Amino acid sequence: MFSIVFMRWLSLSLHPDNTVANLKVIWLAPANAPLKDSAASGHAKNITITKRKNMSTKSPECYATDPKAKCLRVEIAPGHSLLLHHDDFAFAELQAGEKEQSLRMVFAEHEVMIRGFCLRRIEAALQQMELAFICKLPDNQRRLIAEGQPLIREIVVTEIKPGAEPGQLN
């Protein structure tokens, strides 16, 4: 059992393992007066609250398409992204291993290597120049991906400079 104070006007006593929670209302008096429990003052009402269920049935996605996309936004890490213009796209190479696939995308100044599962859809979106966004899914969201849906497990971006050693951005 735990309590939550909401906007200084009421305190909730919730039972997380039940589907219904009882509400205990505490009225606030002026700052110099002691708090009164509404049950003790005889003004208590029985209030029940049904637990809120997550109504979202959409599974998380590690990529997005947009027919009007001019750039591919690569989220290397939370808070760190890179925009690569579709006009700078050179080629892509998909390799299927026993357990996972790797998709190598080469742009004018960057190489993006992604590893994961069911990456053919991402390759097809890139072929149509409609791939707008890719990111690595957090570990806690991977189990929510339906079978047959793309899942990006790792993203590695390497900068390509003529005459210099390639350096990784992440």
pLDDT per residue over 3-23, tens digit each? 444 433 334 444 444 444 444
pLDDT per residue over 86-144, tens digit each? 999 999 999 998 889 999 999 999 999 999 998 999 999 999 999 999 999 877 777 77
In this structure, the number of other CB atoms found within 10 A of the CB of residue 42 comes to 6
With left for phi above 0 and alpha for psi between -120 and 50, is residue 75 left, alpha or beta?
A: beta
- Angle at Cα 156 formed by Cα 151 and Cα 161, nearest 5°? 145
Do 46 and 78 lie in one domain? The reply is no
Q: Give residue 38's domain range.
A: 2-50
Do 69 and 147 lie in one domain? The reply is yes
Residue 10, domain member (yes or no) = yes
pTM of the model: 0.61
Do 79 and 37 lie in one domain? The reply is no
Do 35 and 73 lie in one domain? The reply is no
Average pLDDT, the chain: 75
Do 67 and 46 lie in one domain? The reply is no
Most confident segment among 1-15, 36-50, 60-74, 140-154: 60-74
Do 104 and 155 lie in one domain? The reply is yes
